[in-house]
Amino acid sequence: MAVPKLSRRVWIGAGSAAALSVPLGMWILHEPRVPDGPLGPLRRDPNRVFDLAPGFEYQIVDRVRRRMTDGYLVPPRPDGMACFEGEDGAIVLMRNHELPVGFRDRAIGRRWPRVAYDPEGAGAVTRVVLDAATLEVRSSNLVLCGTSMNCSGGPSPWGWLSCEEDPGDPTHGFVFLCDPAATEAAPPNRIDGYGRFKHEAAAVLDGSHVCYLTEDQVDGCLYRFVPHDPAAPFEGRLQAMRIRGGDADTAPLRTGERRDIDWIDLANPTPLEDDLRETARRAGAARVKRGEGVCIAEGRVHVVATTGGPIDAGQIFRIEDGADRGTLEVLAASEDRGRMDMPDNVTAAPDGTIFFVEDGSGQDLLRYVTADGRVLPLGRNAGSDGEIAGVCFSPDAQTLFVNLQEEGLTLAIRGPFATLRG
């Protein structure tokens, strides 16, 4: 998540007089060159919604202010998202909406229902049920409401984990569990064990049910929650990652660098002040510069640091973790904004290919990382400089979903994904 950016159309309108006096070449210098993928350069979308690699197509499946089945309007600013399998093979999208306090009535058309977590909170989770073949909406509804700045989150064996990115009030800054089968707004299910801080995303390991949690702060940490017993997944201890025998700052690390890690127990995971990271850092925890997306691929944890790396344009870490110790490797660290510019949400295909979307300084892209570590483009926001979010695969891995946050669109992308691994 970043401060909302003006669209290209707004910039042109606001600065047209100044733009006429600037040579064209000076503008071109500000657009980093995007390398071509294996299928060729991205094709320009004549509708100016989303450019894609040859062979891929998108479909708009939902949009802001559309009337949902429960009578509410689709809220603005869709963000993190995950897919679940529904009845009769339907696709169930669980989708966050990153909204500040005070935006509520205008956003949804009427007041929150009585089950709202906080009547003044504006964040929400919506559920969209799609036909797996046609991608038509079968139904849609609120699931969680009255939260604050629901940024990303993650799928889990128990449902969608929705993360609040606003710890300014002691009642906010938590993770909430949401049921993909809920057909109406439900009472909030807050997971205190996952801590109170500026949450971004969450990823759960199969079997052990260890949950990895990112923090969107420039001086943030990477956390994990370890259950005492996998059968009681929300009872356990919260820990912060530490680098063994070296610098506690991950931001300078470049592609291919590795570090040994372990984990520090945190005695009070829900402090009244937003200072959990400060407590962790004093105990030796590593700094992760704006931790955002996190996912599991082939049993390994993949973590995004949005402004880490040698030019502050992002890193993707791969963690091989054990019960007490593990290793952290930099899968990719940007040294060229044309190749990676502030990665954000991340997901993995069944074959282990990592896909991520950007929230960068210019036009944002959907990219993927090949098996040999190359970062290549798959798509691009064609209509604005707005953030791309919510990247996730359908249960059969045939459809990739993304949100265009400022436009308020949810897109479904289909094409030859199998050709991208290499």
Phi, psi of 287 (to 5 degrees): -85, 130
Query: Token pair of 396, please?
Result: 């059969």
Distance, CA of 146 to CA of 221 (rounded, Å)? 27
User: Of the candidates 40, 45, 129, which has an alpha carbon nearest to the alpha carbon of residue 87?
Assistant: 129
Q: What is the pLDDT of residue 266?
A: 99
Query: pLDDT band for position 32 (50/70/90)?
Result: low
DSSP sequence for 229-280: ETTEEEEEEEEEEEETTS-SB-TT--TT-EEEEEEEE-S-SS-SSS-HHHHH
Residue ranges of domains in the chain: 37-414
Distance, CA of 179 to CA of 417 (rounded, Å)? 29
Distance, CA of 42 to CA of 381 (rounded, Å)? 11
**pTM of the predicted model, to two decimals?**
0.92
User: Of the candidates 280, 101, 294, 147, which has an alpha carbon nearest to the alpha carbon of residue 213?
Assistant: 294
What would the pLDDT profile of 334-393 be if each residue is shown by its tens digit? Answer: 999 999 999 999 999 999 999 999 999 899 999 999 888 899 999 999 999 999 999 999
Q: What is the mean pLDDT of the chain?
A: 91
What would the pLDDT profile of 41-90 be if each residue is shown by its tens digit? Answer: 999 999 999 999 999 999 999 999 999 999 999 999 999 999 999 999 99
Q: What is the pLDDT of residue 371?
A: 80
What would the pLDDT profile of 300-338 be if each residue is shown by its tens digit? Answer: 999 999 999 999 999 999 999 999 999 999 999 999 999
Phi, psi of 328 (to 5 degrees): -115, 130
Mean pLDDT of 163-179: 97
Q: What is the pLDDT of residue 275?
A: 98
Asked if 48 and 382 count as a contact pair (C-beta separation under 8 A), the reply is yes
User: Given a cut of 50, is residue 18 above it in pLDDT?
Assistant: no
Q: What is the pLDDT of residue 361?
A: 86
Amino acid residing at 77: R
Distance, CA of 181 to CA of 339 (rounded, Å)? 39
The CATH homologous superfamily for domain 37-414 is: TolB, C-terminal domain (2.120.10.30)
Q: Which of 52-56, 111-115, 280-284, 396-400 has the lowest mean pLDDT?
A: 111-115
User: Given a cut of 80, is residue 292 above it in pLDDT?
Assistant: yes
In whole angstroms, how far apart are CA 107 and each of 3, 112, 212, 363?
19, 11, 31, 26
Mark 275-303 as b/e (b = at least 16 C-beta within 10 Å): ebbebbbeeebbbbbbbbbbbbbeebbbb
What would the pLDDT profile of 119-142 be if each residue is shown by its tens digit? Answer: 999 999 999 999 999 999 999 999
User: Given a cut of 60, is residue 411 above it in pLDDT?
Assistant: yes
User: Given a cut of 50, is residue 8 above it in pLDDT?
Assistant: no
Q: Which has the higher per-residue pLDDT, 87 or 110?
A: 87
Query: Token pair of 353, please?
Result: 């290919």
Query: pLDDT band for position 36 (50/70/90)?
Result: confident
Q: Which of 189-198, 214-223, 372-381, 408-417 has the lowest mean pLDDT?
A: 372-381
Q: Which has the higher per-residue pLDDT, 1 or 170?
A: 170
Query: pLDDT band for position 422 (50/70/90)?
Result: low
What would the pLDDT profile of 241-288 be if each residue is shown by its tens digit? Answer: 999 987 899 999 999 999 999 999 999 999 999 999 999 999 999 999
